[in-house]
Amino acid sequence: MSLAAWLACVAAAGPGVTSTTLPDECREAPMLAQLVAVGKLPPLRERLPENPIVVPIVEHPGQYGGIWRQYHMAADIVSIRLIQNYTPLARWNSDLTDIVPGLAQSWEFSPDGKRITFQLRKGIRWSDGEPFTSRDLAFWWELCNDKRVAFQAPEWVFVDGKKMRLLTPDPYTVVFEYDAPFYFMPMYLSAGFWTCEQMLTPFHYLKRFHPDHNPAYKDFKEFLRKNYVHDNPDRPTLSAWRMTYCSPTSDRVVFERNPFFYGMDPLGRQLPYIDRVESTMVQSAEAGVLLVVAGQIDAQFRLISQADYPLLRRFARKAGYRILRYEEGTAAWYGVCINWDVLDPRKRRLFRDKRFRRGLALTIDREKINQVVWHGLGQPQAAAITDEAWHFRSPEGQEVLKRWKTEWAPYDTPRGNALLDEAGLTQRDSDGFRMFEGEPLTVMLESFDDDVAAKETLLISTDWAMVGIRAKTKRCMGTDLWTRVRSGRYDMYMQHNSEMDLFSFPAQVFPTSDINWHPLVGKWHMTGGKEGEKPDGPMARLLDIFEQCKREPDLARRHQLALDGIRVHFDEGPFMLGTCGRQPDIVVVKDNFRNVPPTGILGPLAVCQPGSQWPEQFFIDTVTTPTTATAKKGAQ
């Protein structure tokens, strides 16, 4: 239906139009109405749940139809999954200020905080029309506990090292039961596309390939292959668009609207507005930008370099697109994680001396890194977390954030030299490099196989050499470095730092996992004390605060505890040394591609933007021509 025809329907319905006053043909896409008319699809009222989710609209209700063209660079199509696979039980709202209902219409904690009961929306269906019920979640839990299949349970199923229990008393009730209070649980469910992709397993489809349900299969090889969300068009989905084609090399992927999608606009019209999504694989970011300037891309939210901004600006009017400035949301790109649990006893004594870490922090020339690596587009700062994180919304939170970003961030070599001397590094060898406890000191600064990280490590090692710290740099493959990081076999490594929520992703502040600067203490926490090393000193203080936070039912008090954890970093840190943050992201959308928020945050993947901004309500306007003012809204 065209926008003009739909507006005529609204006008005919008169004042106070609602979903019940609009005729069905105005409430669904024409391509679906045609299928209903010939009996190939049930009527709309049979395809929607009893309580559909009403999607907030950015500009105004849109029109049905059109193809959204975009591009991707990897076979796992992560950039697409961030857009359309965000269908969790509980979800971030559009402006990232709260956790709101998703597939579940509500949830409730028991008085002791140990049981969280979710009520699913009745009548939600998979894209093939089969009901979505608690049986699908019970199936996921069975897989998590089946040692025969490589189906790893996520970290949030454990509290104090003990695994939760999942109960499904009826088709629309799911109970998560723990041995201790766990008020973070809904936040974990809202994190990223990966959580819902793993949890939402279509039992009716996958049981065909499960050895216990089909004797034709003796193992789980085919089962796992059929469960790949990113390259199996036959696997049912709950997303707004269902995959209909994926080439063997994933160089072309096509999605069409899901006729059973559970969301509608405020007028009761089923979403999504756009009929199809098509994505082409490119071999480089530069190749993708060429598609943009040729006018062949409708909306692209990732994979565009800041270096391409002048070219994009030059062709914007001719190709008919506008350029939006989103935030990467990065607090450290990159930051230096100094291993608190380094295995060498001599280095451990030094690395745990805050004077040493502070001396290193003050002798990094962050402005030089910003100019050389980021062309002046970043912000020299310490390694905090994302400015927009909901912990910082209060005046107190803003004060904590400001101090966190600026403390130990100035380039102050005299003060840094003095702190390094105080840490016991007064003796030097014949080349002028510092010694510790009578022996030469060399630290290894490692990075992943990334050009930006490699450039930053070189600049940092040069800065440190000027104050007598010999740092060798090494560029590593991801698997190799991650393996050594998790076992504590490293001195220092470069880590990207971007996070919105310390409740579900606490490791930037609290030593809860075996990465960052706390691998062995984190392992101890993850395993309930079975592995790793028992914390003491500031690590014990941080974990004590985290446990209080996890058991605190009041959200405001939880935010206060998060700030208390950051204050430990003021007293005993820094543990991670920042370089630059706040790098902007470029988003390009065609002038007639509407309902796109003018700003957003793309860096912390856990908040899953633009997926959490409801891309289902994006639409392609083929009726009206945006005015100059409208087209430039939010554009740079």
**317-366: pLDDT as tens digits:** 999 999 999 999 999 999 999 999 999 999 999 999 999 999 999 999 99
Helix count and strand count (H, E) for the chain: 22, 28
CA 410, CA 366: separation in Å to the nearest integer?
8
pLDDT band at 8 (very low <50, low <70, confident <90, very high): low
Sign of CA dihedral 310, 314, 316, 319: negative
- On the question of pLDDT at 222 being above 90, the answer is yes
107 neighbors 136 (Cβ within 8 angstroms): no
> How many residues in total does the chain contain?
636
Choice among 25-29, 33-37, 222-226, 550-554 with the minimum mean pLDDT: 25-29
Adjacent-strand bridge partners of 578: 335
**If you search the block for the tokens 């009548």, which residue do you land on?**
123
Could you tell me the CA-to-CA distances from 6 to 29, 66, 483, 614 in Å, in that order? 11, 15, 57, 21
Q: What is the pLDDT of residues 62-92, one digit of tens each?
A: 999 999 999 999 999 999 999 999 999 999 9
Q: How much is the pLDDT for 142?
A: 97
Q: How much is the pLDDT for 526?
A: 85
CA 327, CA 581: separation in Å to the nearest integer?
10
Q: How much is the pLDDT for 122?
A: 97
CA 222, CA 232: separation in Å to the nearest integer?
12
Q: How much is the pLDDT for 528?
A: 82
Q: Tell me, what DSSP letter sits at residue 138?
A: H
114 neighbors 182 (Cβ within 8 angstroms): yes
Would you give the distance in Å from CA 97 to the centre of its chain? 15
Would you give the distance in Å from CA 207 to the centre of its chain? 30
- On the question of pLDDT at 569 being above 50, the answer is yes
- On the question of pLDDT at 403 being above 80, the answer is yes
pLDDT band at 3 (very low <50, low <70, confident <90, very high): low
Q: Tell me, what DSSP letter sits at residue 365?
A: -
Mean pLDDT of 207-220: 96
CA 309, CA 377: separation in Å to the nearest integer?
12
88 neighbors 190 (Cβ within 8 angstroms): yes
Q: How much is the pLDDT for 627?
A: 42
229 neighbors 237 (Cβ within 8 angstroms): yes
Both structure tokens of 312: 């994009």
Q: What is the pLDDT of residues 264-318, one digit of tens each?
A: 999 999 999 999 999 999 999 899 999 999 999 999 999 998 889 999 999 999 9
At CA 297, angle to CA 291 and CA 303, rounded to 5? Answer: 70
Q: φ and ψ at 61, to 5 degrees?
A: -55, 140
CA 319, CA 590: separation in Å to the nearest integer?
8
Instruction: Quote the percentage of the chain above a pLDDT of 90.
Output: 87
CA 515, CA 335: separation in Å to the nearest integer?
13
Both structure tokens of 90: 């509980």
Both structure tokens of 13: 């319905």
Q: Exposure of 136 by Cβ count < 10 A (0-12 exposed, 13-18 middle, 19+ buried)?
A: buried
pLDDT band at 150 (very low <50, low <70, confident <90, very high): confident
Name the segment(s) of the chain with CATH classification 3.90.76.10: 64-245
For the chain, the C-alpha Rg in angstroms (whole number) is 26
CA 62, CA 265: separation in Å to the nearest integer?
9
Closest Cα partner for 333 from 581, 516, 509? 581
Helix (H/G/I), strand (E/B), else coil: 320: coil
517 neighbors 339 (Cβ within 8 angstroms): yes
Q: Exposure of 236 by Cβ count < 10 A (0-12 exposed, 13-18 middle, 19+ buried)?
A: buried
Name the segment(s) of the chain with CATH classification 3.10.105.10: 332-581
Both structure tokens of 254: 């096509």
Mean pLDDT of 422-443: 96
CA 131, CA 129: separation in Å to the nearest integer?
7
- On the question of pLDDT at 13 being above 90, the answer is no
**If you search the block for the tokens 């939760």, which residue do you land on?**
164
State the architecture of 64-245 in CATH terms: Alpha-Beta Complex (3.90)
Q: What is the pLDDT of residues 444-503, one digit of tens each?
A: 999 998 889 999 999 999 999 999 999 999 999 888 999 999 999 999 999 998 899 999
Q: How much is the pLDDT for 225?
A: 95
CA 186, CA 91: separation in Å to the nearest integer?
8
The domain 332-581 is placed in CATH, from the list 3.40.50.720, 3.30.70.20, 3.10.105.10, 3.10.450.50, at 3.10.105.10
Termini Cα distance of the chain: 33
Cβ atoms within 10 Å, residue 294 = 11
Instruction: Give Cβ neighbours of residue 580 (< 8 Å, ≥ 6 apart).
Output: 332, 333, 366, 369, 370, 373, 374, 378, 379, 380, 381
Could you tell me the CA-to-CA distances from 346 to 31, 336, 353, 429, 437 in Å, in that order? 70, 20, 11, 18, 8
Helix axes 555-572, 537-550, angle to 10 degrees: 170
Q: What is the pLDDT of residues 34-70, one digit of tens each?
A: 999 999 999 999 999 999 999 999 999 999 999 999 9
Question: Which residues of 481-555 form beta strands (DSSP E)?
Answer: 492-497
Q: How much is the pLDDT for 388?
A: 94
Q: How much is the pLDDT for 415?
A: 98
Q: How much is the pLDDT for 17?
A: 52
